[in-house]
């Protein structure tokens, strides 16, 4: 069977517009200025993403979006990664999609239009300290009359500055779920955290903070949000790797060593070819995962895409840094930013080893089902 992952006209239009917007905001001196700012977010870039409708490409039309779903988000994030542009797109849109898919009508009407045009923003708190599976949070949600209260600690919450709400994963007696918490709510305390990418994150300490459930606790809201977050991060990593390879190709064409361009040496060509192969493999796995997500059978495809992103992404950015020689270790060189992004994305939501472990569990469960439930004793579900 042949699978065609060619972008349609709408997605091509999103790609071209996103490429133009990000290119206009990522000159080296502008990136340095954002790195030196208080919140490490390019407010002008964020405003342009909202003004052009790019923040709403994935959201439903009736709430101010373009209705392109995860595919639209992935096209946008690939272009952001290519330019390593400092804007919290993935947590904001992943959170907005969770509200669109599982929130009640009041939550949708109250949040989505402002999220689509960039006048408001939310972020997501899906990770905790320790090796826990993000699908099984330790943070606890307990009923308090008609609402919920959350207690626990969430780690590396991306770009909390300026976010009006946080979408928090927490466990209940019925199972895990998603909950909306106002970022300044009573019982919600923030601790500033530096990240590998030079962005600012936050540690969120919840002590009975009031919250509203998004969807039914114990339902599919958290699993779906983690799947969307995983493909979003894979798309961002794809762009980061592509942008890094663009730098490498330009460098080995121009840099002359022993009277010849670096690109004329076979060993250099092999390194560039390996990068290209890994990028194209990641691209194929990403779009397979997007298609599976739209069809509602995404678990294995999403885990494969994330494994490629977590494994191939750092490999590409490290090779690119190596191909730049001495200039590649200069922290002010453009390729260093790609290295930092590639490393951090690869560790978000668990990393390659954890993802491979989860993929093995999914495939083992499928094999047991296919064989009528039989399998080795002690095999994990």
Q: What is the pLDDT of residues 288-327, one digit of tens each?
A: 999 999 887 788 999 999 999 999 999 999 999 999 987 8
Residues 6+ away with beta carbon under 8 Å from 66: 10, 14, 53, 56, 57, 58, 59, 72
Per-residue CA distances from 286 to 225, 232, 293, 300 (Å):
16, 9, 10, 12
Stretch 110-128: mean pLDDT: 96
pLDDT, mean of residues 190-198: 93
Residue 217 has pLDDT above 70, yes or no: yes
| Predicted local confidence at residue 110, as pLDDT | 95
Task: Return the residue matching tokens 């290519």.
Answer: 82
Instruction: Answer yes or no: are the C-beta atoms of 41 and 87 closer than 8 Å.
Output: yes
Q: Where in the chain is the domain with CATH 1.10.540.10?
A: 9-120
pLDDT of residue 381: 39
CATH 1.20.140.10 fits domain 221-370: yes
pLDDT on residue 149: 98
Task: Specify the pLDDT at position 370.
Answer: 82
Percentage of residues in the chain with pLDDT exceeding 70?
A: 96
The arrangement of secondary structure in 9-120, i.e. its CATH architecture, is: Orthogonal Bundle (1.10)
- Alpha helices, DSSP H only, in the chain? 9-23, 28-35, 43-51, 69-83, 89-102, 105-117, 221-254, 266-295, 299-323, 334-347, 351-370
Does residue 2 carry a pLDDT above 60? no
CA-to-CA distance for 151 and 309, rounded, in angstroms?
A: 32
Domain with CATH 1.20.140.10 in the chain: 221-370
Residue 132's CB: how many other CB atoms inside 10 A? 13
Tell me the C-alpha to C-alpha distance, in Å, between residue 62 and each of 100, 107, 108, 150, 329: 10, 14, 10, 31, 48
Q: Please give the average per-residue pLDDT across 206-219, as a whole number.
A: 97
In the block, tokens 């490629």 appear at 308
Determine the pLDDT at residue 171: 97
Q: Residue range 215-238: average pLDDT? A: 97
User: Do the bridges between strand 188-194 and strand 256-257 make them parallel or antiparallel, or are there none, so unpaired?
Assistant: unpaired
Alpha carbons 75 and 56: distance in angstroms, whole number = 13
pLDDT of residue 379: 43
Q: Where does the pLDDT of residue 378 fall: very low under 50, low under 70, confident under 90, or very high at 90 and above? A: very low
Tokens, residue 6 = 């060619």
Q: How confident is residue 373, by pLDDT bands cut at 50, 70 and 90? A: low
Q: How many Cα atoms occupy the beta-carbon half-sphere of 186 within 13 Å?
A: 1
Q: What is the pLDDT of residue 172?
A: 97
277-311 core/surface letters (b: 16 or more CB in 10 A; e: else): ebbeebbebbbbbbbbbeeeebbbbbbbbbbbbbb
List the structure tokens of 269: 């060509």
CATH of domain 124-214: 2.40.110.10
> Are residues 114 and 122 in contact, defined by beta-carbon separation less than 8 angstroms?
no
Distance CA 277, CA 107 (A): 43
Instruction: State yes or no: pLDDT of 116 exceeds 50.
Output: yes
The predicted structure's pLDDT at residue 4: 61
- In sequence order, the 6+-apart residues with CB closer than 8 A to the CB of 273 are none
Looking at residue 377, its pLDDT comes to 37
pLDDT attached to residue 260: 84
DSSP-assigned beta bridge partners for residue 192 = 202
Sole residue written with tokens 């260093």: 336
pLDDT at 367 over 60: yes
Half-sphere exposure of 157 (CA within 13 A, CB side): 28
Dihedral of alpha carbons 19, 24, 25, 26, sign: positive
Asked whether the predicted pLDDT for residue 158 surpasses 50, the reply is yes
Q: Report the pLDDT averaged over residues 9-19.
A: 96
Instruction: Please work out, in degrees rounded to the nearest 5, the angle formed at the alpha carbon of residue 80 by the alpha carbons of 76 and 84.
Output: 170
Residue 322 C-beta-side C-alpha neighbours within 13 Å: 13
The pLDDT score that the predictor gives to residue 257 is: 79
319-342: per-residue pLDDT in tens?
A: 999 999 878 788 888 999 999 999
Please work out, in degrees rounded to the nearest 5, the angle formed at the alpha carbon of residue 287 by the alpha carbons of 286 and 288: 90
In the chain, list all ranges with CATH 2.40.110.10: 124-214
b/e map 242-264, b = 16+ CB within 10 Å? bbbbebbbebbeebeeeeeebbe
Task: State the virtual CA torsion across 231, 237, 239, 243 in degrees, nearest 10.
Answer: -170
Mean pLDDT for all residues in the chain: 92
What b/e readout covers 15-42, taking b as 16+ CB neighbours within 10 angstroms? bebbbebbeebbeeebbeebeeeeebbb
What average pLDDT does the segment 180-198 reach? Answer: 95
Q: Which residue would you say has higher pLDDT here, 300 or 376?
A: 300
- Specify the pLDDT at position 308: 95
């Amino acid at each position: 069977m042949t699978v065609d992952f060619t972008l349609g006209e709408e997605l091509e239009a999103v790609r071209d517009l996103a490429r133009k917007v990000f290119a206009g905001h990522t000159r080296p001196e502008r990136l340095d200025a954002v790195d030196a700012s208080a919140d490490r977010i390019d407010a002008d870039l964020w405003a342009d993403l909202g003004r052009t409708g790019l923040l709403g490409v994935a959201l439903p039309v009736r709430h101010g979006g373009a209705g392109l779903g995860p595919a639209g988000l992935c096209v946008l994030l690939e272009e952001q990664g290519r330019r390593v542009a400092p804007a919290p797109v993935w947590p904001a849109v992943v959170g907005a999609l969770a509200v669109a898919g599982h929130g009640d009508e009041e939550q949708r009407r109250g949040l989505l239009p402002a999220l689509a045009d960039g006048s408001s923003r939310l972020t997501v708190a899906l990770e905790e300290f320790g090796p826990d599976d993000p699908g099984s949070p330790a943070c606890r949600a307990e009923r308090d009359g008609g609402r919920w209260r959350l207690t626990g600690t969430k780690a590396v919450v991306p770009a909390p500055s300026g976010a009006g709400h946080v979408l928090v994963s927490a466990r209940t007696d019925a199972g895990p779920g998603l909950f909306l918490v106002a970022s300044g709510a009573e019982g919600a305390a923030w601790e500033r955290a530096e990240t590998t990418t030079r962005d600012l994150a936050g540690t969120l300490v919840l002590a009975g903070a009031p919250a509203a459930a998004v969807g039914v606790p114990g339902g599919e809201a958290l699993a779906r949000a983690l799947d969307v977050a995983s493909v979003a991060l894979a798309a961002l990593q794809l762009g980061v790797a592509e942008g890094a390879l663009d730098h490498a190709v330009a460098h080995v064409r121009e840099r002359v060593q022993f009277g010849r361009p670096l690109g004329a040496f076979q060993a250099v060509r092999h390194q560039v070819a390996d990068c290209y192969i890994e990028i194209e493999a990641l691209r194929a796995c990403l779009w397979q995962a997007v298609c599976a997500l739209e069809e509602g059978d995404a678990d294995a495809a999403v885990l494969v895409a994330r494994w490629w992103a977590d494994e191939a992404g750092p490999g590409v950015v490290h090779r690119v840094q190596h191909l730049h020689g001495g200039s590649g270790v200069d922290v002010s060189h453009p390729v260093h930013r790609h290295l930092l992004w590639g490393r951090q994305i690869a560790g978000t939501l668990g990393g390659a080893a954890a993802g491979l472990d989860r993929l093995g569990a999914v495939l083992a469960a499928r094999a047991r089902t296919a064989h009528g439930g039989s399998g080795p004793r002690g095999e994990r579900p």
